[in-house]
Structure 1
Amino acid sequence: MHIAEGFLPVTHCVAWAAVATPFVAHGAVAVKKQLKAQPETKLLLAAAGAFSFVLSAIKIPSVTGSSSHPTGTALGAVLFKPPVMALLGTLVLFFQALLLAHGGITTLGANVFAMAIVGPWVAYGVWRASRGAGASMDLAVFLAALLGNLATYVVTATQLALAHHAQGLVQAWLTFMGLYAPTQVPIAVIEAIVTVLIVRALSKIAVPELQRLGFLPEPAQPVAQKVGI
């Protein structure tokens, strides 16, 4: 769930915006460097942003009265690294708040921190750790998308608990986590599966771009070329 207008005190909105701003600024620099160094990955970068926009715009009602949705940020995180997703995620959240009334402008900083910063970094960390441990690409992508999604909601629940904890901070956090869990856990699993399928498709149709990004290994050079024959 994107936190909607009015759900956070003004001081919290300002604080989360201040925390998120350096990450977004760094992300803007990262995107600029990426496009300058590898302009041929422009379409893939746009696809990663579009994937996040479409998935995170799907609101699914929760049996608890809340709503949940995928985030779609793991794809861009594992392909381009998390700083790029800080900017793309911010653009996604801004236009969703402006055009779809999904989230809010005043709560943009909080939503950016949860979905465009923490989620991608967790996804990328899980991806790197899984691949380093010898996991297959499919399994590593699955775990990255699954845990990146769930991390986003843990942060959102924490943000809401910090703002609304009359019953005590721990109890408030458990309450908000309980509101999300019934729908968010299966949604995270579905998002992970979809992300794996998208990566599989890209691995067939965008091989050169993925190789330049280091996501796929470069083709082995012929022995004759290696020894200079």
Structure 2
Amino acid sequence: MNEEQLKRLSLSGLAAAVLLMLVPQDAFAMHIMEGFLPPVWALAWWLLFLPCLGYGLVCLRRIVAQDSHQKVLLALCGAFIFVLSALKMPSVTGSCSHPTGVGLAVILFGPGVVAILGAIVLLFQALLLAHGGLTTLGANGISMAVIGPVVGFAVWKLACRAGFRRDIAVFLCAMLADLVTYFVTSVQLGIAFPDPQSGVVGSLSKFMGIFCLTQIPIAVAEGLLTVMIYDQLTKRQLITTGDVR
């Protein structure tokens, strides 16, 4: 019964993802778009992302080997990331912002697996939604699937050890993983495109002013949504507190 419920949730996420594919969307969003980064930076971020993918594969194999039923829950987390990170909301200067959706997977499986889930999501979004790109997938993966989840996981662990209520710990993990993702993206753009007068610092402050501030309400909303999803999974005994990493 529990597995059947998980399958239904995964199918619902897949249906939402298909709907998102069918709706025309502006291609310029917070994922760094195809060809936007200078080649040297695109390559550098790819080289940093590849070892994270290798570690993620090791984590994924270990989780599946321990319990093959976790495949369905992994699929649900992947669908959650796909749907939320494809929801592009108008920001400023003609750009867009979106949630990341990584908090749930970080809590249930740890940050290593999120590198694989995030890479799959970013690949499909680049190919099917013109959201992000292949050359910039390494940079987008580092921000959304590596550094954001690692910070979220650290916050989750610290909050649990500090005795915070479980829902507050979930909220902080999801919210801060989202905000850190946008901070890292701002850094990536700032160092790739330094301001002619104020250099990297000036460029970084401009990108952070555009994206990080407008992302705060979205990050709060994502934190609340993740709390609701986590609460429903625990109420239906699809996960227990012993399942989380």
Distance 1:212 1:131, change over 3 A: closer
State the AA in 2 paired with 1:64.
T
Aligned to 1:158: 187
Rounded to whole Å, the distance in 1 between the matches of 2:41 and 2:113 is 25
1:44 aligns with 2:44: no
Aligned to 1:73: 102
Aligned to 1:128: 157
Aligned to 1:177: 208
Bigger drift between 176-185 and 153-162 goes to 176-185
Rounded to whole Å, the distance in 1 between the matches of 2:133 and 2:232 is 34
State the AA in 1 paired with 2:74.
L
Q: Secondary structure at the match of 1:39?
A: coil
Unaligned segments of structure 1, at least 5 residues: 216-229
1:92 aligns with 2:152: no
Identity %: 49
Runs of 4+ in 1 over 4 A off after TM superposition: none
* Displacement of 1:40: 1.6
Give the counterpart of 1:188 among 219, 225, 228.
Answer: 219
Structure with max Cα Rg: 1
Aligned to 1:203: 234
Rounded to whole Å, the distance in 2 between the matches of 1:40 and 1:138 is 25
* Displacement of 1:206: 3.4
Rounded to whole Å, the distance in 2 between the matches of 1:197 and 1:99 is 29
Distance 1:125 1:132, change over 3 A: same
1:110 aligns with 2:143: no
State the AA in 1 paired with 2:129.
L
* Contact 2:107–2:244 under 8 Å retained in 1: no
Unaligned segments of structure 2, at least 5 residues: 1-29
* Contact 2:179–2:212 under 8 Å retained in 1: no
Rounded to whole Å, the distance in 1 between the matches of 2:126 and 2:244 is 34
The alignment yields a C-alpha RMSD, in angstroms, of 1.2
Could you give the per-residue CA deviations for residues 176-204 of structure 1, whole angstroms, max 9, x where no partner exists? 01111343111000000000000000001
Aligned to 2:52: 23
Rounded to whole Å, the distance in 2 between the matches of 1:118 and 1:6 is 22
* Contact 1:65–1:179 under 8 Å retained in 2: no
Rounded to whole Å, the distance in 2 between the matches of 1:139 and 1:27 is 27
Query: Aligned pair count?
Result: 214
Distance 1:39 1:212, change over 3 A: farther
* Contact 1:79–1:210 under 8 Å retained in 2: no
* Displacement of 1:5: 1.2
Q: Secondary structure at the match of 1:141?
A: helix
* Displacement of 1:212: 5.4
Rounded to whole Å, the distance in 2 between the matches of 1:143 and 1:211 is 17
